[in-house]
Amino acid sequence: MSKGLIAVIVVVLILGFVGCGKYNGLVQKDEVVKESWAGVESQYQRRADLIPNLVNTVKGAADFEKSTLTAVIEARSKATQTTINADQLTPENIAKFQAAQDQLSGSLSRLLVSVEQYPQLKANQNFLELQAQLEGTENRITVERGKFNTVVKDYNQEVRTFPTNLFAGVFGFSQKGYFTAAPGSEKAPTVQF
């Protein structure tokens, strides 16, 4: 064998080992993203499961705004229908998912503000427990979204860093989307007394 052929074989072997290492690293990070996405979905599902009980408790209040309840029910339906496969966490898909969830959050906020006009609801133990569970779930959602963004950042950095970006392109690994703040959240709410 000639020295040139040996050098080519050595280079190919080195590239092969490096490629395998980069591929395996990307697979591991992709799995961490998928695991984190499952945590996000789990918390959103928990919230969706609490909503029917909350709506039924509120329905019992005389003359409660039917349009508010209908908006919550419709938003919940849309939010639970908007799902993303963990292999399709593109920025566009995350934005669609987030928009449906934000719509549900807005409807829930309007519902909880409307409750202030109903003293019998504010004194209802079931309602108070459901409200506390929803608040806890909203906190859990925030935590899971933060964890998700952290692992997506780690994954996206790996996909974009040289020389891994060369292997990522060859093996079909692309950047994932982040959760972002809802439009208008950068403005502080106006509080009037």
CA distance 133 to 3: 71
Residues of the domain holding 118 = 3-171
Asked if pLDDT for residue 63 goes beyond 70, the answer is: no
Q: Provide the CATH number for the domain around residue 99.
A: 1.20.120
CA distance 174 to 159: 7
Residues 129, 97: Cα–Cα separation, whole Å: 28
The answer to whether residue 106 sits within a structural domain is: yes
Residue 179 placed within a domain: no
Question: What does the pLDDT read at residue 77?
Answer: 92
Q: 129: Cβ–Cβ under 8 A, 6 or more apart, which residues?
A: none
Predicted confidence (pLDDT) per residue in 41-52, tens digit: 999 999 999 999
> Is there a domain that residue 191 lies in?
no
Q: Which pTM does this prediction carry?
A: 0.83
Domains in the chain, number: 1
